Structure 1
Amino acid sequence: MFETLQAQPADKILALMQMYKDDPRETKIDLGVGVYKDATGLTPVMRAVKAAEHQLWEAQTSKAYTGLAGDPAFGDAMVQMVLGDAVPRAQVAAAATPGGTGAIRQAFELIQMARPQARVFVSNPTWPNHLSILKYLGMEMVPYRYFDDETRGVDFDGMIADLKTAQKGDVVLLHGCCHNPTGANLNAAEWDAVIKVLQDTGATPMIDIAYQGFGDGLDADAAATRKVAAAVPECLIAASCSKNFGIYRERTGILMALSADTSAQKLNQGTLAFLNRQNFSFPPDHGARIVTTILNDDALRSDWMAELEDIRNTMLGLRSQLAGELQRLSGSDRFGFLAEHRGMFSRLGTSSDMVDKLREDHGIYMVGDSRMNIAGLNAETVPILAKAIIEVGI
C-alpha cells in the first residue's frame, strides 16, 4: 500500500535550519527558527521551571494517567492567566493538549463537528501551520487582509472590509498578541472595531495566543483576548506555554471553549475530552504540571514573571537597537516599524530575492517571506544585520 504515497512538501523552516547548519561561515546568523535565544544563542531553562521540576521530582509518587482533559488544576491556572476575571470560570471548558499546535488542531476539529460547513477566516499572512492543518482537514479558508507591505503595519481598513463578509457560523481566527509572522498588532480601538464586526456578523472568534508576556506584558498581552471573550457569546482560545515558560519540548498547551451559559459548558467539556480521546487519549502532563506548580506558588510565579519581563525587555531593546542602527545607516526612519512591532517576529516586507541575497551574500537566514526572529539577535549581531540590510538594498 505504501507505493501509493506521495512525497509531502518540505517544511520551509526545517529546510532553512538545515541550510544554516551546513553553512561553514562563522559570521552566519539564524533568524529563522521560532525559539527564544539569549545573548549566547542558548534557549535557557527558566529558573522557576528548574525549581518546579525539582519540586515535582521530590514529591511526585506516580506517573499514572491524568484525566482525558488533563489535570483540572492546569485548566484552572491557565484560564486564570489568560482570561483573568473576564468570563465566569463556569462558562469555560478547557482541555490540555500537546502544545499550542495540538490546541489549534483540536479547535479546528471541534469546529468541524459543530459546523461542518464553517468557513475559517485567516489573516494574510498567518502562521503556516494554521493553513496546513486547515488544508489537511479539508476546511474552507477565507483570507482577510492584514499586513501592509508599504507601512509594515496592519492594513486595518482592508481587514475590516474582509471580516464584514463573514456570516453566522463562520469562524474568525485572530492572533491574541505578537502576530506571527509579522509582529504588527492591532491597537485597543482597532480591537473594539473587530469586536463590533464579530457582534454584527455573528461569526465566532478563535484566538491563538502563543506569546503572552512577550509583547507588552503578561496582562497587557491578554487584554484583547479578554475583551473579545467578554463581548461575544461563544469563543475558542488556543494557548501555548512553549514560549512564555520556555518549555518547547514539553509540548504544553490548552484549548478553551467559552459558552454563553454553564449548561453549554458541560457539553463542551465532554466534547473536548472526546476529541482528546480520539487523537491521543490522555494529554502529556509533565509540562502542564510545571506550569501549574509555578502559577500556584507565589514565590515561583514572582520569579517566573521577573524572568519573563527580562526576556521581553531584551527583545524590545534589540528592536530599538536595530531600528536605530538602520536609521543611522540609511539616513531615514523607514525602519521605525521594527521598534513598533511586538513579540519574537518582524516581517521586513521585502521580496524573497532579497531574502535569498541576505543568505547568500551575508549568511543571514530568515524565512522566505522576510519573517525574522528578533530573539535570534544579540547586541553584537544587530550591526551586522543592519549593514547587510542596507547593502542588499532593502
Structure 2
Amino acid sequence: MLSTLKPRPADKILELMALYRDDPRDTKIDLGVGIYKNADGETPVMRAVKAAEKQLWETETTKKYTALSGDPAYGDAMKSLVLADSVDHARVGAIATPGGTGAIRQAFELAKLANPDVTVWTSNPTWPNHVSIIKFMGLKNESYAYFDEASCTVDFDAMMESLKGVKAGDLVLLHGCCHNPTGANLTLEQYGLVADLIIEKGATALVDIAYQGFGDGLEEDAAATRLLASKLPELLVAASCSKNFGIYRERTGCLMAMSETAEQTPVTQGTLNFLNRQNYSFPPDHGARLVTMILNDDVLKADWMAELEEVRLGMLGLRQQLADELKRLTNSDRFDFIAGHRGMFSRIGATPEEVMKIREDFGIYMVGDSRMNIAGLNSKTVPLLAEAVAKICK
C-alpha cells in the first residue's frame, strides 16, 4: 500500500525555513515564518501564561478527559472574548480544537455535512493552508478579488463584484482582522456591506480570527466579527490563541457556530461534538485551560492585556519605522501603506524575482509573494530591510 504513495509538494514556508537555517551569513533576517518574535528574536512565554501554569501545576489533580467539546468554561470564555454581547450566547455552540487550523478544518467539515455541494469562497490572496485544506477535503473552492497589487490596499469594489457569484448554501471565508498575508483590512462599513450581500445570497460566513489584539486593540480587532454576528442569521468563527496568548505549541483553538435560534443550538452543538469525536475524539486541554484561567482572573487578564498591548504597539512602531525609512531612501510615498497595514504581515509588492534577489544579495528571507513578517524585525534590522527593498524593488 505505502509503495503507491507519491511525493507531496514541499510547504513553501517550511522550505524557506530550511534555506534560512542553512544560510551561514550572520546578518541574515527571517521574515518568512509566521510567528511573533521580540526584539531579541525570541518568542517568549507571556507573563500571565507563566503565572497560570504555575497555578495549574499547584492545583491540578487529574488529567482525565474533559468533554468532546472541551471544557465548557473554555468555550464560554472564548465567546466572551471574541463575540462579547453581540449575540445571545445561547445561540452559539463551541468546541475546543487543536489550534486555529483545527477550528478551520472542523468548520469545513461542518459546512460539508450541512451542504455536501458547498463551495468555499476565499480571498485572493489568503492563508495558503485555507486552500490546501479545502482541496484536500475535495471541496469546491472559488476565490474572490481582495488585494490590489498596485496600491497594496483592499480593492473593495472588485471584491463585491466577485462575491456576486456566491450561491445559497456556500461558505464565505473572511479574515476577522489582520488579514494574512496582506495586512490590508476591510473597514467596519465594508464588513457591513459584505454581511448584507451574504444575507441576500443565503450563504454563511466563516470568520478566521487568528490575531485578535495584534492590530488595533483587543476590542477593536473583534469589532468586525461582532458586527457580523449581530447582522447575520448564522455565523462560524474559527479563533486561535496561538498568537495573542503566545501558546503556539499548545495548539489552542476554538470553533464557534452561531445558529439562527437558540432552539437550534443543541443540534449544532451535538454536531460539533460528533465532528470532534470523528477527528481526534477529545481535544487537547492544557492550553485551553490556561486561556480560561487567564480570562476568568482579573489580575491575570489585566497583565495579559498589558503585555499584548506592548506586543501590538511594538509591531506598529516597526511598521512606522520601516515606512519612514523607505520614504527617506526612495523619496516617495510608495511604501506608506506598510504603516497602515495591521498585524504581523504585509505584502510589499515585490515580484518573486525581486524577493529572490533580496534573499541572495542581503540574506533577507520572505515568502515568494513578498509577504513579510513584521514581527521578524527589530529597530536595528529595519534599516537593513529598507536598504534592500529600496535597491532591489524598482
TM bin, normalised by shorter chain, reads: over 0.9
What is the CA distance between 1:393 and its match in structure 2? 2.7
What is the CA distance between 1:298 and its match in structure 2? 0.0
Q: Separation in 1 of the partners of 2:188 and 2:68?
A: 37
Q: Separation in 2 of the partners of 1:324 and 1:389?
A: 13
* 1:105 aligned counterpart, secondary structure: helix
Give the match for residue 171 of structure 1. Answer: 171
Deviation per residue, 1:139-184 (Å, 9 max, x gap): 0001000010000000111100011211210110000000000000
What is the CA distance between 1:257 and its match in structure 2? 0.5
Give the match for residue 252 of structure 1. Answer: 252
Give the match for residue 323 of structure 2. Answer: 323
Deviation per residue, 1:101-139 (Å, 9 max, x gap): 000000001111110001111000000010000000000
Deviation per residue, 1:73-120 (Å, 9 max, x gap): 000000000000001010000000000000000000111111000111
TM-score normalised over the length of structure 1: 0.99
Give the match for residue 45 of structure 1. Answer: 45
Q: Separation in 2 of the partners of 1:128 and 1:266?
A: 33
Q: Separation in 2 of the partners of 1:19 and 1:302?
A: 40
Give the match for residue 270 of structure 2. Answer: 270
* Aligned: 1:22 with 2:22: yes
Give the match for residue 106 of structure 2. Answer: 106
Q: Which moved more, 1:140-149 or 1:195-204?
A: 195-204
Give the match for residue 56 of structure 1. Answer: 56
Q: Separation in 2 of the partners of 1:17 and 1:325?
A: 27
Q: Separation in 1 of the partners of 2:306 and 2:113?
A: 41
Letter in 1 for 2:119: R
Give the match for residue 314 of structure 1. Answer: 314
* Aligned: 1:376 with 2:376: yes
Letter in 2 for 1:30: D
Q: Separation in 1 of the partners of 2:349 and 2:203?
A: 30
What is the CA distance between 1:262 and its match in structure 2? 1.2
What is the CA distance between 1:210 and its match in structure 2? 0.2
* 1:164 aligned counterpart, secondary structure: helix
Q: What is the correspondence of 1:125-274 to structure 2 with a 5 Å cutoff?
A: 125-274=125-274
Q: Separation in 2 of the partners of 1:124 and 1:15?
A: 22
Deviation per residue, 1:228-287 (Å, 9 max, x gap): 011111110000000000000000000000011112110010001100001001000000
* Aligned: 1:340 with 2:351: no
Give the match for residue 300 of structure 2. Answer: 300
TM-score normalised over the length of structure 2: 0.99
Q: Separation in 2 of the partners of 1:146 and 1:322?
A: 24
Q: Which moved more, 1:186-195 or 1:169-178?
A: 186-195
What is the CA distance between 1:23 and its match in structure 2? 0.2
Give the match for residue 354 of structure 1. Answer: 354
* 1:257 aligned counterpart, secondary structure: strand
Q: Separation in 1 of the partners of 2:64 and 2:90?
A: 27
Deviation per residue, 1:165-214 (Å, 9 max, x gap): 11210110000000000000011221121111112111110000000000
**Contact 2:350–2:393 under 8 Å retained in 1:** no
Letter in 2 for 1:374: I
Q: Separation in 1 of the partners of 2:383 and 2:218?
A: 30
Deviation per residue, 1:23-43 (Å, 9 max, x gap): 000000000000000000000
Deviation per residue, 1:348-377 (Å, 9 max, x gap): 122100100010010000001100000000
Q: Separation in 1 of the partners of 2:265 and 2:210?
A: 24
Structure 2 alignment gaps of length 5 or more:
none
Q: Separation in 1 of the partners of 2:195 and 2:111?
A: 20
Give the match for residue 4 of structure 1. Answer: 4
Give the match for residue 279 of structure 2. Answer: 279
Q: Separation in 1 of the partners of 2:379 and 2:70?
A: 41
Q: Separation in 2 of the partners of 1:90 and 1:196?
A: 24
Q: Separation in 2 of the partners of 1:272 and 1:196?
A: 27
Q: Separation in 1 of the partners of 2:322 and 2:331?
A: 14
Q: Separation in 2 of the partners of 1:124 and 1:190?
A: 17
**Percent identity at matched positions?**
64
* 1:369 aligned counterpart, secondary structure: coil
Give the match for residue 88 of structure 1. Answer: 88
Let me know the Cα RMSD of the aligned residues.
0.6
Q: Separation in 2 of the partners of 1:292 and 1:309?
A: 19
Letter in 2 for 1:260: E
Q: Separation in 2 of the partners of 1:297 and 1:237?
A: 24
Q: Separation in 1 of the partners of 2:138 and 2:118?
A: 11
List structure 1 segments (4+ residues) > 3 angstroms apart after TM superposition.
none
Give the match for residue 392 of structure 2. Answer: 392
Letter in 2 for 1:267: V
Letter in 2 for 1:75: G
